[in-house]
């Protein structure tokens, strides 16, 4: 299949707010793919190429595009050819590879039409605004393969790989209809993590869940740990393998009285008094390629598999009992209750210990991989939202020479206030930025620069930052109709993707309160 057909389908999806029309466009594309085109095509559609990150930056892509000259009028690139070129790009490394990599990029851009260049650039640079496309793709895949939607959705969640799910679904023969339903938990293969909704108070959360496990919400980094014998693998919330970075976590899990297990939890750094260090300290150690002085301690709040027994469809009460049996010394603190006063007390204890708040989890809930529902509800006393940096203004006074005042955007998945999957500006802030962060972001933002004016540098919307606010107020200045009140930076969230940022609808929901 020509790449142009994939680009046309992507444009059709971006150009409509109708979910049905999006599904129609994607299902039509999927049914026309050859078997060896399915995984590459799905990867490009959701801006996650099969090869992962191939090390292409703004400057390299711009240089290749400029060297390629005017784009051809007629499309000729196929999906398979693009996939092969990305394989070559990934395999080209080491001394003297810069010229060879640039030659491959030029070969790619020389053959790409203007629309294909734009699409490929956004895929490789992580700027493609997919919005809620993965969910739409699941529906399109169900239609294209004539498979039940819930079966496709569960397979995608448990495999953590939409491309592989599509390959299985579209390759199923009439005599093996159960192939997709057979996709299940595999120790060593990460699954999408279950997510939590939010509530204003522990009592409100208990009112939604009923009897629940009320657990400390740690200000750490989400981890999923798999063990098969002595082989231990640690994954991030985005399913990246970071085993080599966390030897202390590997050691803890190897010491548990199990042979095969999948654990869900958090890891964070502690100070000399066993109090949690700031999130930035945890993420600095979490992202280090080599061990540093600060150790990361694992705490687990769920177990999905133990020694041949899948637990995701069992109630939380059963999973917690297994967790207590195998890892009693590494459980996140909490208690089970249906009493709002107990929930408030646990929340106060968590805050006094230096943690963020609590997560209230319905005691009879199953583990819904990849889903955010009302079974898990997080409660934090300070409102925090994950937003995307759209631009920054040059500072003045003591901050002269630094990019300081951040322009913040919330995600607009359905295009209610702009482009579907785009970002709507909701405010600015320079508060909470240390000299170290100012130095880092000044350098990083210029690497991500897309345009600038005399005072402002606009960047690709790829950086997620956690912002604390006191609320929102109505505003005619911003297209979403809301502006942040007393916004301040808590931390950059390298562990989160832009399509995981909070939505403009979530912020607008605060107005009703």
Read off the pLDDT of residues 416-440 as tens digits, 9 standing for 90 and up.
998 888 999 999 999 999 999 999 9
Say which residue, 496 or 271, is predicted with more confidence. 496
Q: Is 134 annotated as a binding residue?
A: no
Query: Which DSSP symbol is given to 92?
Result: -
pLDDT mean across residues, the chain: 88
**Is the pLDDT assigned to residue 174 strictly greater than 60?**
no
| Cα–Cα distance measured from residue 72 to residue 70, given in angstroms and rounded to the nearest whole number | 7
**Is the pLDDT assigned to residue 81 strictly greater than 70?**
yes
Which helix (H) or strand (E) covers residue 78, if one does? none
Catalytic residue among 48, 217, 380, 490: 217
Report the range of poorest mean pLDDT among 120-134, 140-154, 317-331, 487-501: 120-134
Which helix (H) or strand (E) covers residue 88, if one does? helix 79-91
pLDDT at 465: 97
Q: Are 513 and 485 in contact (CB under 8 A)?
A: no
Q: Is 490 annotated as a binding residue?
A: no
Q: Model confidence over 356-382: pLDDT tens digits?
A: 899 999 999 999 876 777 899 999 877
Q: Model confidence over 467-494: pLDDT tens digits?
A: 999 788 888 889 999 999 889 999 999 8
Q: How far is CA 487 from the centre of its chain?
A: 23
Q: Is 176 annotated as a binding residue?
A: no
**Strand 383-394 relative to strand 449-452: parallel, antiparallel, unpaired?**
unpaired
Q: CA-based Rg of the chain, rounded to a whole angstrom?
A: 24
Bridge partners (DSSP) of residue 145 are: none
Write out the two tokens for 466: 């956690």
**Is the pLDDT assigned to residue 200 strictly greater than 70?**
yes
Q: How far is CA 427 from the centre of its chain?
A: 23
The residue written with tokens 């992507």 in the block is 10
Q: Which conformational region is residue 126 in: left (phi greater than 0), alpha (psi within -120 to 50 degrees), or beta?
A: left
Catalytic, 428? Answer no
pLDDT at 74: 93
All CATH 2.40.50.140 domain ranges in the chain, comma separated: 383-512
| CATH number among 3.30.470.30, 1.10.760.10, 3.40.50.2020, 3.40.1410.10, domain 195-378 | 3.30.470.30
**Is the pLDDT assigned to residue 503 strictly greater than 80?**
yes
Q: Are 155 and 168 in contact (CB under 8 A)?
A: yes
Write out the two tokens for 395: 């500072």
Q: Averaged over 102-106, what is the pLDDT?
A: 88
All CATH 3.30.470.30 domain ranges in the chain, comma separated: 195-378
Q: Positive or negative, the Cα torsion across 502, 238, 102, 76?
A: negative
Q: Is 222 annotated as a binding residue?
A: yes
pTM: 0.68
- Tell me the CATH class for 383-512: mainly beta
Write out the two tokens for 317: 């009460």
Q: Is 88 annotated as a binding residue?
A: no
Instruction: With cut-offs at 50, 70 and 90, classify the pLDDT of residue 310.
Output: very high
pLDDT at 159: 82
Q: Is 59 annotated as a binding residue?
A: no
């Amino acid at each position: 299949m020509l790449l142009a057909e994939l680009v046309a389908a992507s444009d059709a999806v971006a150009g409509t707010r109708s979910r049905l029309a999006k599904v129609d466009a994607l299902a039509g594309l999927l049914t026309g793919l050859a078997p060896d085109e399915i995984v590459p095509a799905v990867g490009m559609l959701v801006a996650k190429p099969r090869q992962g990150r191939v090390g292409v930056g703004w400057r390299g892509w711009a240089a290749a595009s400029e060297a390629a000259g005017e784009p051809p009028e007629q499309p000729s690139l196929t999906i398979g050819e693009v996939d092969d070129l990305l394989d070559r790009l990934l395999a080209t490394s080491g001394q003297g590879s810069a010229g060879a990599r640039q030659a491959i990029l030029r070969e790619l851009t020389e053959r790409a039409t203007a629309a294909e260049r734009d699409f490929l650039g956004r895929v490789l640079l992580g700027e493609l605004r997919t919005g809620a496309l993965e969910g739409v793709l699941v529906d399109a895949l169900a239609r294209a393969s004539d498979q039940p939607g819930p079966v496709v959705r569960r397979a995608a969640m448990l495999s953590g790989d939409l491309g592989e799910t599509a390959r299985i679904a579209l390759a199923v023969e009439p005599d093996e209809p159960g192939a997709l339903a057979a996709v299940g938990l595999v120790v060593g293969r990460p699954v999408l993590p279950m997510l939590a909704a939010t509530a204003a108070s522990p009592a409100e959360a208990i009112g939604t869940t009923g009897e629940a496990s009320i657990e400390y919400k740690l200000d750490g980094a989400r981890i999923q740990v798999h063990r098969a014998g002595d082989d231990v693998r640690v994954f991030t919330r985005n399913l990246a393998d970071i085993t080599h970075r966390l030897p202390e976590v590997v050691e803890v899990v190897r010491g548990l009285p199990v042979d095969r297990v999948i654990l869900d939890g958090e890891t964070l750094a502690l100070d000399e008094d066993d109090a949690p260090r700031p999130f930035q300290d945890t993420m600095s150690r979490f992202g280090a390629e080599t061990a540093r002085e600060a150790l990361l301690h694992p705490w687990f709040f769920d177990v999905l598999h133990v020694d041949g027994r899948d637990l995701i469809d069992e109630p939380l009460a059963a999973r917690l009992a297994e967790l207590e049996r195998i890892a009693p010394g590494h459980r996140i603190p909490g208690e089970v209750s249906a009493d709002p006063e107990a929930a408030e007390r646990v929340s106060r204890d968590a805050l006094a210990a230096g943690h963020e708040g609590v997560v209230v989890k319905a005691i009879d809930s199953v583990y819904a991989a990849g889903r955010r529902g009302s079974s898990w509800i997080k409660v934090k006393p300070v409102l925090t939202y994950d937003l995307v940096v759209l631009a920054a203004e040059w500072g003045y006074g003591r901050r002269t020479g630094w990019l300081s005042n951040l322009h913040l955007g919330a995600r607009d998945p359905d295009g209610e206030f702009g482009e579907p999957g785009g970002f709507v500006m909701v405010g600015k802030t320079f508060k909470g930025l240390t000299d170290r962060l100012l130095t880092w972001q000044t350098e990083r933002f210029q690497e991500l620069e897309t345009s600038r004016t005399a005072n402002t540098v606009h960047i690709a919307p790829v950086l997620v930052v956690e912002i604390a606010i006191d609320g929102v107020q109505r505003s005619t200045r911003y297209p979403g109709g809301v502006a942040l009140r007393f916004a301040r930076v808590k931390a950059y969230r390298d562990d989160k993707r832009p399509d995981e940022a909070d939505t403009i609808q979530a912020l607008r929901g605060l107005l009703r309160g």
